[in-house]
């Protein structure tokens, strides 16, 4: 009997644990034979492994939770993975993977392991929180400030805003990096 295996990265289990702790479901899609499924689950720590999946099948597996309105991120590193990250809401590529995987993904993890995945999720959530806060403040400022600057309160209160106030830094957001 001859068996050939493509070993998993030793950091896979440690990289997947923080995702599970955040309530994210990790699924491994592989083209490998079904008999490798149990071994992969034990090593990687993923609760679910889908084996014997061709490239088009990986894209179909990504579409399945999307139909249920779930946001799907897909990490790939090879030519066979390229259709799935392109289909995903967030496509990620291992930076040491093939050029096709890196080009079709929206995000490239520079290091050759999945540890950057949890950090990328944390940074993107922080960035979106900052953007939403900035949009709220801009909306509030424009709804209140524009009419006052236009003179709505002037007849009753003799109150005008100087255009100089529009250039004032109203808050300072620290860099998430």
Q: For residue 4, what pLDDT is reported?
A: 58
Q: Is residue 4 part of a domain?
A: no
Domain count, the chain: 2
Q: For residue 77, what pLDDT is reported?
A: 81
Residue 47 confidence (pLDDT) above 80: no
The burial of 61, by beta-carbon neighbours within 10 Å (0-12 exposed, 13-18 middle, 19 or more buried), is given as middle
For 30-43, write each residue's pLDDT tens digit: 888 777 666 666 66
**8 Å CB contact between 67 and 89:** no
Domain that holds residue 106: 12-121
Same domain assignment for residues 87 and 66:
yes
Q: For residue 132, what pLDDT is reported?
A: 94
**8 Å CB contact between 45 and 59:** no
What's the token pair of residue 119? Answer: 């950090």
For 102-134, write each residue's pLDDT tens digit: 777 888 887 777 878 888 889 999 999 999 998
Same domain assignment for residues 57 and 80:
yes
Same domain assignment for residues 109 and 23:
yes
CATH of the domain at 56: 3.40.50.1000
Same domain assignment for residues 159 and 107:
no
Same domain assignment for residues 36 and 75:
yes
């Amino acid at each position: 009997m001859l068996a050939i295996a493509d070993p998993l990265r030793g950091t896979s289990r440690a990289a997947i644990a923080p995702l599970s702790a955040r309530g994210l479901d990790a699924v491994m899609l592989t083209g490998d034979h079904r008999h490798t499924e149990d071994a992969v689950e034990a090593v990687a720590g993923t609760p679910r492994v889908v084996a014997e999946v061709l490239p088009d099948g990986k894209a179909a597996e990504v579409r399945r939770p999307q139909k249920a309105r779930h946001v799907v991120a897909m990490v790939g590193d090879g030519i066979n993975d390229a259709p799935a990250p392109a289909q995903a809401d967030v496509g990620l590529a291992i930076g040491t993977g093939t050029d096709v995987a890196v080009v079709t993904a929206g995000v490239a993890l520079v290091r050759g392991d999945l540890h950057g995945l949890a950090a990328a999720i944390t940074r993107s959530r922080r960035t979106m929180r900052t953007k939403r806060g900035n949009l709220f403040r801009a909306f509030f400022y424009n709804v209140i400030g524009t009419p006052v600057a236009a003179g709505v309160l002037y007849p009753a209160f003799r109150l005008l805003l100087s255009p100089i106030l529009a250039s004032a830094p109203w808050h300072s957001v620290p860099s998430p990096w």
